Amino acid sequence: MKRKYIVVYTTFPNERTAKKIVDALVRSKHAACGSIFKLYSIYRWKGKLERTPEYGAFIKTRASRYHSVEKYIKDNHPYDVPEIISWDITLGQCEYLNWVYEVTDSAQK
């Protein structure tokens, strides 16, 4: 059976929240790693145009971990409707993907 991997993308209101959530996902082995970066978002929310500095995160994990990652983010995120989307990793450096698989083994429930 072919192993499947994803990148989960989400945004946070500040660096502290981003680090706290990504750290917990890695510690619990639901994610192999997360890359956090500063960004600026422009979007509509409740009929208003918003312009907000935020922090984004690319969270790398097994496809089978998506639902647990999504649940953890939703349960711990300060936004009413956090952005949580994922992309399939269709190609990647073999040793890196093997590492993702190994470090997400035996994720805590």
Q: Where are the domains of the chain?
A: 5-103
Short-list 16, 14, 59, 17, CA closest to 38: 14
Q: Residue 72: pLDDT above 70?
A: yes
pLDDT in tens, 12-36: 999 999 999 999 999 999 999 999 9
Q: Which two tokens stand for residue 22?
A: 């990504």
Domain 5-103, CATH among 3.20.20.70, 3.60.15.10, 3.90.25.10, 3.30.70.120: 3.30.70.120
- Is pTM, for the whole model, over 0.85? yes
Distant-in-sequence, close-in-space partners of 71: CB < 8 Å, separation ≥ 6: none
Average pLDDT over residues 87-100: 96
Say what the pLDDT of residue 106 is: 77
Percent composition of the chain: helix, strand, coil (DSSP 3-state, to 5): 35, 40, 30
